[in-house]
Amino acid sequence: MLRKMADVDREVETVLKRFGIPCLKQEQRTILNCLIQNRDCVAVLPTGFGKSLPFQLYLPVKRALVGDNSYGKVIVCCPLVSLMQDQVNKLNLTSLGLVTAAFRGKDKETDELIEAGEVDIIYASPESLVGDSHWRSTIQRLNVTAIVVDEFHTIATWGGLEADEEGKVFRKWFRHLGEIRSLYPGASLLALSATCTKTIKRRVTDVLGLKDYEFITVSPNKTNIKYIVKNVDPQIESSMILILDIIRQMKENFPRTIIYCNSIRDVGQIYNFLVTELSDMPKIEELIEMYHSETSEEKKKAIENLTNDSLLRVVVATSALGMGVNVATCHNVVRYGRPKSAVDFLQETGRVGRDGQHSCAILLFHGHQLRNVDQDIKDFLKSTECRRLQLLKPFLSDEELRSVQSTSTGQHVCCDVCEQICSCQSCSLTVMEKAMKNLPFVDDILESSGSDSDSDTISYEYDSGDDLNNDTN
């Protein structure tokens, strides 16, 4: 056994060198060991942690151990085309020929290569894997030894939490992903996500038929992110006026910020408001950009990079700028309009502060937007005690919450509620935090009647041919 473990260690080290990676984190190595040993695994790890690396290393390591360069295939079930494109491009670039990767649906030639067994890591949507009977029967002939369900929380958030919700879910094939196991009964299954409530975990393990599996998790509590909530006037002008004023004052020194919205319409209206009001500023269109499912691929790449030497200061986006996108050197996220769930909010706020530096997550909403919102989010919005604890309640056990309370709360860097009771005598606020203090506050925080739109009474119109009410692609 020791000799075999030494063999695994040696091959892992060899493959890591080929990938240009010095070492694996403990959680990454545990995932890789599960795949090598043909065991199921569920891993909930923070954004930017490197969740994909273990399954990308799996085939080169396993092939070296069994002495078969053609051993096995990996199927990766992925919810978004942009995410598949990004991972395939990066993997083909960094693996140096150790494995080949492609996603189903790119073009006819690629699909033929996949079906012929010429691709090692095959990315595909749930609609392809269980919803397309022809393609499903075709790929069943492949020797698939590992199945990966990436962003597995979407099984519940897009496929529905309840078994009887078939007719009203966003993407119904997410709720049938367990059928993949029947195609490859000998394959191990790895489920990955950055966020998972206790309720979602139960739903996902039920859908995927997981019983005896390794569970790996790192707390979603990011202590460097401060949570701030403001109930504001529904008009974009009122909500964005202070941000506009700071951009005008600071120009290219404005702290890099992502503004998340619920719809393409809201993205366009906020973007148009900012660039119109700041049209007299030089290079304003280089300072502010927007990102959604209809954004061109060339423009997406420019925005996704968000490098230090870029002039880009503000990106107004839908959730399309989300799962799997590496947003670097950004320490402010503004959520305009209520998120539907705590999972969505943690996913979006996880885009910032990846370098460990102090960051802010600011939620701007108005009372009319509280219909059709999870109770978890309502509790977070109306909390008169620590918002961090309230936000993490659906995700952590009582013991874990007590640990968070003893180490992360009651300080001005925790949330806007804790800031009021902080006694450190050295409180300091960032530019964005100071701006939020000056933003007019609306008192009807629990008001839930009226329109559910995020775009009421706004004059900065934006036209798109896409569905303007939702944007999750």
Q: How many residues does the chain have?
A: 473
Per-residue pLDDT of the chain (473 residues; tens, 9 = 90+): 445 778 889 999 999 998 889 999 999 999 999 999 999 999 999 877 889 999 999 999 999 999 998 899 999 998 878 788 888 988 888 787 899 999 998 889 999 999 999 999 999 988 888 888 888 888 899 999 999 999 888 887 777 666 656 555 667 778 788 888 889 999 999 999 988 888 888 888 988 988 889 999 988 999 999 999 988 887 888 888 888 999 999 999 999 999 999 889 999 999 999 999 999 999 898 899 998 878 777 676 667 666 667 888 999 998 878 665 667 688 999 999 888 889 889 988 988 888 889 999 999 988 666 667 788 998 999 899 999 999 999 999 899 999 999 999 999 999 999 999 998 888 888 888 888 877 665 544 444 333 343 333 233 343 433 333 344 44
pLDDT of residue 387: 96
User: What pLDDT does 172 receive?
Assistant: 77
Calpha distance 335→347 (Å, rounded): 12
DSSP, collapsed to helix, strand or coil, labels residue 276 as: helix
Find out whether 354 and 327 touch, Cβ atoms under 8 Å: yes
Please tell us whether the domain made up of 225-437 is placed in CATH 3.40.50.300: yes
According to CATH, the topology of domain 2-217 is Rossmann fold (3.40.50)
Using an 8 Å Cβ cutoff, are 168 and 96 in contact?
A: no
Q: Is the dihedral of CA 317, 318, 320, 325 positive or negative?
A: positive
- Per-residue pLDDT, 464: 39
The pLDDT value given to residue 444: 45
Backbone angle region of 357, left / alpha / beta, with phi > 0 → left and psi within -120 to 50 → alpha: beta
What DSSP designation does 67 have? T
What residue type is assigned to position 236 of the chain? Answer: I
pLDDT digits (tens, 9 = 90+) for 82-94: 788 888 988 888 7
Q: What is the pLDDT of residues 101-117, one digit of tens each?
A: 999 988 899 999 999 99
In the chain, residues under CATH classification 3.40.50.300 are 2-217, 225-437
Sheet holding 73-77, edge to edge: 101-103, 121-124, 73-77, 144-149, 188-193, 41-44, 214-217
| Residue 168: predicted pLDDT | 58
Both tokens of 222, joined, read: 């990011």
What distance in Å separates the CA atoms of residue 164 and residue 159, rounded to the nearest whole number? Answer: 11
Nearest-5° angle of CA 242, CA 290, CA 325? 110
Position 454 scores a pLDDT of 39
Backbone phi, psi, residue 426, to 5°: -140, 30
Laid out side by side, the sheet with 359-365 consists of: 225-231, 359-365, 332-336, 257-260, 314-317, 288-291
